[in-house]
Amino acid sequence: MGILSNTIWAFGVLCLVGLLYRGRKLSLFARYSYFYTYLSLVMGKEIIRIAQAIGDPTLQQVWTIWILEVSTAVAGFGITWEIYKQSLIPYPGARRMAQLLLSGVLTAILLKAIVELANDPTWAGVPKMGALEQNLRVSQALLLTVLVCLIGYYGIPLGKNVWSMLFGYGLVISSNVIILTLRLSLPHVDWKWWSLLIQLEYCGTLSIWYMGMRSFMPNPISQTAPDSDYERIAAHTARSLSRLRAHLIQGWWEE
């Protein structure tokens, strides 16, 4: 299983390097800055994992691993915003509202985590870091679900670039939510086989992105949406995201 795991990991790293190289070559970094910033952070995480595999003892700490995971989850809000921003380009009002509410949700989650860690006299914060990552992933899953509903309801046209970002990151989020929930619920279970499944999902996501980001493919321009549609989608987005933010913040602060 070690050889298989290392082979899958190496394939994923090669896909990631290819994505970053092609994005730089095609000048996609400027067009999708949040997406490629996320990929760059994931690349940094892989470099640290390589250093861990070589045997650097300073990188084997549990805190180091959790900080890497949480940092990636926080950066995931960037790619969530990238998907929102690109999908709602024709709707500037809805886009501004989405940006405000995504920022509010992220700020609330991070503030709650900081308060919990500051009030922990033992500084045994690893379980709290796991809960923080779970909260980040679950909120992103809900935000993407809201966006998918808006896309389907209003028939918002998307280009291949945005579709690949949405589908690939949706796969990342769904698998992470399931695995994190199981890990926190069953901390004593051996997760070696689950780790293999996570690596397969990781390679699958990178493959989706690699195929979808082969060139710049902007969203088709809708020729049929009247002005009233712009107003309705802005209002609908504001209501949906406001309810989501209120539900998440109220639930977490009542814990």
The answer to whether the beta carbons of residues 40 and 75 sit under 8 Å apart is no
Lowest mean pLDDT of 6-15, 20-29, 157-166, name the range.
Answer: 6-15
Distances (CA, A) of 244 to 30, 76, 96, 137, 155: 30, 18, 16, 14, 22
pLDDT for residue 252: 47
Check residues 252 and 10 and name the one with the higher pLDDT: 10
Confidence of residue 253 (pLDDT cuts 50, 70, 90): very low
Question: Among residues of the chain, what percentage have pLDDT more than 70?
Answer: 72
* Type of residue found at 98: A
Each residue's pLDDT tens digit, 158-188: 999 999 999 999 998 988 888 777 776 776 6
95-110 pLDDT tens trace: 887 788 788 888 888 8
Domains held by the chain: number = 1
pLDDT-based confidence at 126, cuts 50/70/90? Answer: low
> pTM of the predicted model, to two decimals?
0.80
* 236 confidence band (pLDDT: 50, 70, 90): low
Grade residue 34 by pLDDT with cuts at 50, 70 and 90. Answer: very high
Residues 6+ apart with CB under 8 A from 211: 164
Q: Domain limits at 244? A: 2-253
Task: Give per-residue pLDDT as tens, 61-89.
Answer: 555 666 777 778 788 888 999 999 998 88
d(Cα 6, Cα 4) in Å, to the nearest integer?
A: 5
Report the alpha-carbon angle 248-254-255, nearest 5.
95
